[in-house]
Amino acid sequence: MINIAILGFGNIGSGVAEVIEKNQAEIKNVLGDNLHVKYILDIRDIPGVVNDINIIVNDPDVKVICETMGGKEPAYTYTHLALEHGISVCSSNKELVDAYGVELSAIAREHNCSYLFEASVGGGIPVLRTIREAFGHEKVSRIAGILNGTCNYILTNMKAGKDFADALKEAQEKGFAERNPAADVEGHDTARKIAILASLVSGKKFSYEQVSCEGITNVTQQDIKDAEAQGMSIKLLGVYEAETQSVNVAPYLVPASSPLYGVNDVFNGIMVTGNMVDNVMFYGRGAGKLPTASAVVSDVIECAKTLGRNVKDGLEDLEPVASVNAPAKPDGQKFRVL
């Protein structure tokens, strides 16, 4: 039996426990052993939940920790401490990966454990592991992705006739958008995710602060109609271009010929272009309790299979990129064209 702990018992953390409980037979089939949630840590006072990280890291039975807290603190402090104790950490925390991923990766390697973060980008879509393992020999020239389900849901509903305010309100009522939706609709969530993707394929560390970022708050119903008249759809994309070393987030006009055109509602789509494989499309639920938790558990299984060893995560020894460009818009045009 492999004992694990979950840090943060909100939506994703509780989902991790549910995935392990419901899919224990499948997990044992691939791992050769059972997973057992020995500890749950949360800052709230919940029966059966611990509040002291030291209880977890000082228990030699705990082999893997799932960090599903979100934000930088106390997630950074707890992750740092766990890795120093030789306990592998699997994270869904894109903010932490963007800000401290390279540092945490180095600590994991030093202490013969792993820091994995599949769930930080694309929810349940297995894009990071695929890039890490199946694209290592490729020269990736571009990544273009719909990386935020909230924005995609809003834009899909605007295409159906709603204005931005009504589409946002509906997204909030259905739980797809936070009460304060700024991180989503202003593009910051997408910026963190495309920075992580760009770092993995470029061999250089791109950070969220370097990404030119424009959200969807200025997209109007008329813009949607104009795009449709041209046979296009407006999508919020995170785009990395290797040749120009540009990374940006902005609403793009996506032609009907693109696989990203038909990605609607809360779904994500990520198109990776390699010099040999050409275009590869990843599609699925980019957020949500169980899809994201499933990605966390996939990392837990990989860590459990490699106890006492370090799994390369793609952030090893990356030097910060000196400067990042943003592609220019066509003269007189409001949107870039994919």
Residues 246 and 170 in one domain: yes
Label the pairing between strands 319-320 and 212-213: unpaired
158 and 72 both lie in a single domain = no
Residues 37 and 180 occupy one common structural domain: no
Whether 278 and 253 map to the same domain: the answer is yes
Confirm if 295 and 317 have CB atoms less than 8 A apart.
no
Same domain, 94 and 179: no
Integer CA distances (angstroms), 47 to 17, 21, 43, 128, 326, in order:
16, 19, 12, 35, 49
Active site residue 28: no
Residues 267 and 137 occupy one common structural domain: yes
The whole-number pLDDT of residue 173 equals 87
Query: Residue 193 sits in which domain range?
Result: 127-285+321-337
Do 32 and 63 touch, CB atoms closer than 8 A? Answer: no
Catalytic one among 22, 159, 162, 193? 193
| pLDDT of 92 | 96
Give the pLDDT score at 159: 92
Count how many domains the chain has: 2
pLDDT of residue 310: 97
Distance CA 123, CA 303 (A): 19
In a shared domain, residues 256 and 137: yes
- pLDDT for the residue numbered 328: 79
- CATH number of the domain bearing residue 66: 3.40.50.720
Is the domain of 175 the same as that of 101? no
Q: pLDDT tens digits for 24-50? A: 999 999 999 999 999 999 988 888 899
- Whether residue 192 is found in the same domain as residue 262: yes
Q: Per residue of the chain (338 residues), give pLDDT as tens.
A: 999 999 999 999 999 999 999 999 999 999 999 999 999 999 888 888 999 999 999 999 999 999 999 999 999 999 999 999 999 999 999 999 999 999 999 999 999 999 999 999 999 999 999 999 999 899 999 999 999 999 999 999 999 999 999 999 998 888 888 888 999 999 999 999 999 999 999 999 999 999 999 999 999 999 999 999 999 999 999 999 999 989 999 999 999 999 999 999 999 999 999 999 999 999 999 888 999 999 999 999 999 999 999 999 999 989 999 888 888 787 778 999 99
pLDDT digits (tens, 9 = 90+) for 319-333: 999 888 888 787 778
Which is nearest to 194 in space by CA: 135, 236, 152?
Answer: 236
The CATH number for 271's domain is 3.30.360.10
Q: What is the structure's pLDDT at 45?
A: 84
Assess whether 254 and 312 both reside in one domain. Answer: no
Q: Are 196 and 296 in a shared domain?
A: no
CA distance 338 to 336: 7
The three-class DSSP label of residue 106 is helix
Do 86 and 213 belong to one domain?
A: no
